[in-house]
Amino acid sequence: MPEFLQSKDLQPVRQFFKADGVDVLVLAGATPRDDRQPRGWYIFCNGRMIVEADKTALTGWGESLPQFHTKYNHFLGIVYFRSTNLLSLPWTTTKDGVDRESAVYQQALARMGVLAKPILEFFNEMYAKDIAIEGKEQIDLIESARKISVQSLARSTNKTWNARPRTSTSDSRVSICYKRSQKQVNRVKENLGRPGMSNKAVGEYTFDYYLKKEG
């Protein structure tokens, strides 16, 4: 099985609940950067894996979650269903797939969507195209975290997703991101007499100008 990442600033999800006599355990988080295999959702019934690295609507992608994208390759979600009543488990009659119509699975699917969204938003920020240094805070969190096995996370207490950027010192450099129309940006460049100025330079210039006039 793949591994999760965990640190005091980066906490994966662990949530346990019961549904119609079935014990359900959901684990979700980020995998290490050296994990080269695209992940997704894994589903087990009584210890048997019936879904592996799913990235389809079966586990909510493109419905409660966005369509799977390569920027989500390091998302890892695992759901364990356990019950002494085999008929209550959300697997097909051949026990090699998920019965999506199962009421138990529908309850789990709703939880999976809620728990996964903040993790996917973390990856959205990590790979944001309009940030000068793409997701540096997120990358720092990933690189400073340690690997934790699925078994260790499963045995821990319930956790909620947390990705807390380290507190910046007063003289640290940070990225500021905002969008304006290209027409407006071009007007600024023309007024400055520098039509070849980069968009980044326009943002820095206008920020410095505000500080000089108002700061």
Q: What is the pLDDT of residues 45-73, one digit of tens each?
A: 999 999 999 999 999 999 999 999 999 99
How long, in residues, is the chain? 215
Dihedral of alpha carbons 70, 59, 77, 137, sign: positive
The radius of gyration of the chain from alpha carbons, rounded to an integer in Å, stands at: 22
Residue 192 — pLDDT band, cuts 50, 70, 90? confident
CA 70 vs. chain centroid, Å, equals 12
Residue 49 forms beta bridges with which residues?
Answer: 44
pTM: 0.75
CA distance 152 to 140: 23
CA distances from 24 to 1, 34, 46, 154, 159 (A): 19, 29, 10, 11, 15
Angle (nearest 5°) at CA 186 between 181 and 187? 100
Q: Per-residue pLDDT for 136 more than 90? A: no
CA 159 vs. chain centroid, Å, equals 15
Residue 198 — pLDDT band, cuts 50, 70, 90? confident
Mean pLDDT, rounded, for 8-15: 95
Residue 129 — pLDDT band, cuts 50, 70, 90? low
